[in-house]
Amino acid sequence: AQSVTQLDSQVPVFEEAPVELRCNYSSSVSVYLFWYVQYPNQGLQLLLKYLSGSTLVKGINGFEAEFNKSQTSFHLRKPSVHISDTAEYFCAVSDMDSNYQLIWGAGTKLIIKP
C-alpha cells in the first residue's frame, strides 16, 4: 500500500533563510505528487504538482519541488522564506489506480522566526 512520510513535524527557520520540507513516498507504480499549503483556519491550497516531465516543478509563492524517483522523494524548497509562509504543508500522492484518492503525509508546520 502507498504511504507518505513527512519526517519533520515542525521546521523553524529564520525569515529570509532557505527552507526544505521533506517528503518521501512508497509506491510501486507511477505516481502523481502534490504539495498543499494550509494557512491557519483555512482550507487547502495547491502549491505545486508533479504529473510527468521535468523533475523540477515550480509552484506558487516562490516554492519549488524536485521529484527523485530513485529516492522516492519529493522535497519542497524555497530559497528565502517570508513571515507569510507560516503555515502547515502537506505532501500527497495519488496513482493511476487510485481513482483520484490522495494519500496524505502527516504535515509539516513551517514556523518563521523574525
Partner 1 sequence: GAVVSQHPSWVICKSGTSVKIECRSLDFQATTMFWYRQFPKQSLMLMATSNEGSKATYEQGVEKDKFLINHASLTLSTLTVTSAHPEDSSFYICSAPGPIFSSYEQYFGPGTRLTVT
Residues that bind partner 1 (CB under 8 A): 32, 34, 36, 41-46, 49, 51, 90, 94, 99-102, 104-107, 109
CB of 79 vs partner 1, minimal distance in Å: 25
- Residue nearer to partner 1 on the CB measure, 34 or 67: 34
- Residue nearer to partner 1 on the CB measure, 19 or 90: 90
Instruction: For residues 32 and 94, give the distance between their C-alpha atoms in angstroms, rounded to a whole number.
Output: 5
Angle at 108 between CA 68 and CA 111, to 5 degrees: 120
CB of 47 vs partner 1, minimal distance in Å: 12
Give how far Cα 18 sits from Cα of 73, 78, 99, 101, Å: 19, 6, 36, 32
